[in-house]
């Protein structure tokens, strides 16, 4: 059940009210039957219906209370997550803004290296997507090509660059950015 709206509580609340009304109406009928003189079996039967109505009303009322509590918790959690997301997005925008010239320079340097390696446009695109951490399957989906094609283009760019694979490609560009190893 989606508890984003109080209307989601309408069904269990309605059932609780219906059970309660049923119990009250049957109880009134039971009193009139007892005053009018009825059999013990009939009193027992209607008494059971009253008890069932009261129990059902109570069970559904407790469920509504539980759902209201859960909904409040979920709303609070959603509000907290929204605030954290907003803070993360602001932090990311600030980082991008602070690093814009560095990122631009890095992009240009990567592009120059691709030119030195004489990569084709397709190989350049595959290389950039590999550097972003995408899998061959994801790259194939993005580029709307077969995964085998992506693998062949990746092997060709590794060969032209003199690298052994994806890790060497990432290390080629990132090793010096991360500073010396301790």
Q: Based on the domain organization, do 34 and 76 belong to the same domain?
A: yes
Please state, in angstroms and rounded to a whole number, the distance separating the CA atoms of residues 82 and 72: 15
For residue 95, what are its two tokens? 């980082």
Q: Based on the domain organization, do 22 and 84 belong to the same domain?
A: yes
Question: If you average pLDDT over residues 41-56, what whole number do you get?
Answer: 84
Question: If you average pLDDT over residues 148-155, what whole number do you get?
Answer: 96
Q: Based on the domain organization, do 129 and 156 belong to the same domain?
A: yes
Q: Give a yes or no: residue 110 inside a domain.
A: yes
- Residue 143's domain spans which residues? 100-174
Residue 1: pLDDT above 60? no
Is-contact 145 156, C-beta < 8 A? no
Instruction: Read off the pLDDT band of 3 (50, 70, 90).
Output: very low
Q: Which of 71, 98, 125 is the last residue of a domain?
A: 98
Q: Which of 74, 98, 122 is the last residue of a domain?
A: 98
């Amino acid at each position: 059940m989606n508890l984003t709206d109080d209307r989601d509580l309408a069904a269990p609340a309605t059932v609780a009210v219906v059970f309660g009304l049923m119990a009250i109406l049957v109880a009134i009928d039971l009193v009139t039957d007892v005053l009018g003189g009825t059999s013990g079996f009939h009193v027992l039967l209607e008494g059971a219906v009253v008890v069932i109505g009261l129990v059902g009303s109570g069970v559904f009322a407790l469920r509504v209370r539980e759902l209201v509590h859960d909904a409040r918790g979920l709303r609070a959690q959603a509000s907290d997550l929204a605030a954290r997301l907003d803070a993360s997005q602001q932090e990311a925008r600030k980082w991008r803004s602070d690093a814009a010239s560095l990122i631009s320079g890095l992009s240009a340097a990567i592009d120059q290296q691709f030119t030195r390696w004489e990569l084709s446009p397709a190989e350049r695109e595959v290389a950039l997507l590999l550097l972003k951490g995408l899998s061959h399957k994801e790259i194939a989906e993005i580029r709307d090509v077969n995964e085998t094609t992506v693998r062949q283009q990746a092997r060709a760019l590794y060969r032209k660059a003199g690298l052994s694979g994806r890790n060497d490609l990432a290390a080629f560009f990132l090793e010096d950015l991360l500073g010396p190893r301790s």
